[in-house]
Structure 1
Amino acid sequence: MPKMVLLAEYVAINGNDLSTYAKKAELAVKVEEKETTTYGSLGWKESLGGLKSGDLGLEFLQDVAAAALDSIMWPLLGTVVSFEVRASNAPVGTSNPKYTGSVLISGWNPIQGSVGDEASVGISYPTSGAVTRATA
């Protein structure tokens, strides 16, 4: 069974490669469960898939220098922008698919942490529209 260790994830928001700031990226997609159980189901629950949705969870090391992370993300607040994530920054292929779509930049935490902590930003964005998987 193949195994993988994440060493160089690729994370881009609005066309900006933010991989050098990223410590963690999680893309979760799901489908609403719509119960369709009837008396004809003979006591077994039946379900159909409804609307699809997703969340892009990110953790960054903060950088407030000019042209760095904070100055890239701050102007995006409240907008819907593109994203791309891959398990590796290697070229896209059958063993390194890319996941793309759009997210609503629904928040930003420019200052987060306690005394002695690294300056980091943990945030999650809802997807907007379809999330696609491609190998080319």
Structure 2
Amino acid sequence: MGKFTLVDARLFAPGADLSGASNKIELSSEIEDKDVTNYRSAGWKEVLGGLGSAEISAEGQWEAGDPSKVDDQSWAVLGGQGPYTVCPTDCVVGALAYITSGMRTDYNVGDAVGEVAPWSGTVKSSWPLVRGQIAHPPGTARIATGTGTVVQLGTIPAGKRLYAALHVLSVAGTTPSITVRIESGDATISAPTTRLTFGAATAPGGQILRGAGTAVTDAYYRVAWTVTGTTPSFMFAVSLGIR
């Protein structure tokens, strides 16, 4: 990926796509530096890495009225934990994505008379920030059981984990339910192995899972889902990463 301007960044909160209500998204990550300088440090400051943290801050135009709007979603998750996915350049399958589980720590609205009603908010991480990719795009409605596009994520060394975030954005039908899982295998995933399985979802919302930290030699992954109900329809996004 070469240099680019930010014109199509995407932000997914637990159960909402806030991209259309956002005009600024910032992502930061840091590791504490802990001073261990001593008399044998050769006259130089010596540090070790401490705790890591990440933060997502965003702002944009205020909207309310249904669970997909920024006001409804912000009040629903304020003070709670959930998955967040940030994409610098759209969210097609294979697009770069940053993933974390975090707490929505603040929500601000309002400005001077005559101004477009704004909002701003912050998420602070409770899990590591993971660099990965989109494995299922948000713009494709799923009405039956199926599988998604295979993506090459890479093998997982011992001590590293597979991370996956699910954002269920809309649900329709009578008694609809969807269970999403992450499968791995060869380049065509001809004999899939289930790596992670999300809980059944019947309403908009978000989930995030991570693996056990054991080595996985498979390099290819895909999203699979089981849909039940009468005339069900689901819009959802899934991001994957290894850290």
Query: Is the structural similarity TM-score above 0.5?
Result: yes
Moved more, 66-75 or 32-41: 66-75
3-state secondary structure, aligned to 2:31: strand
Structure 1's unaligned 5+ residue stretches are none
Percent of aligned positions that are identical: 30
Checking the alignment, whether the CA contact within 8 Å between 2:6 and 2:89 is kept in structure 1 is yes
| Structure 2 gap ranges (5+) | 134-152, 154-243
Q: Who is 2:25 aligned against?
A: 25
Aligned-pair Cα RMSD in Å = 1.7
Specify which structure has the higher proportion of strand. 2
User: Does the 8 Å contact 2:14/2:84 carry over to 1?
Assistant: yes
Structure showing greater Rg? 2
What number of residue pairs does the alignment pair up? 133
Relative contact order, CA 8 A, sep 6+: which one is greater?
A: 1
Output aligned runs, 1:102-121, within 5 Å: 102-109=101-108, 111-121=109-119
CA distance in 2, matches of 1:78, 1:124: 11
- Among 130, 133, 138, the residue aligned to 1:132: 130
Q: Which runs of 4+ in 1 moved over 6 A?
A: none
Per the TM alignment, residue 92 of structure 1 is displaced from its structure 2 partner at its CA by 4.5
Which residues of 2 match residues 1-136 of structure 1 at below 5 A? 2-67=2-67, 68-93=69-94, 96-109=95-108, 111-135=109-133, 136=153
Work out the CA distance in 2 between the residues paired with 1:112 and 1:92: 36
TM-score scaled by structure 1? 0.89
Deviations 1:65-123 (A, max 9, x none): 33422112211121101100010114253xx42100112012222x3211222111122
TM-score (ref. length: structure 2): 0.51
CA distance in 2, matches of 1:129, 1:66: 29
When residues 119 and 34 of structure 1 are mapped into structure 2, their CA distance, relative to the original with a 3 A threshold, is same
SS in 1 for 2:20: coil
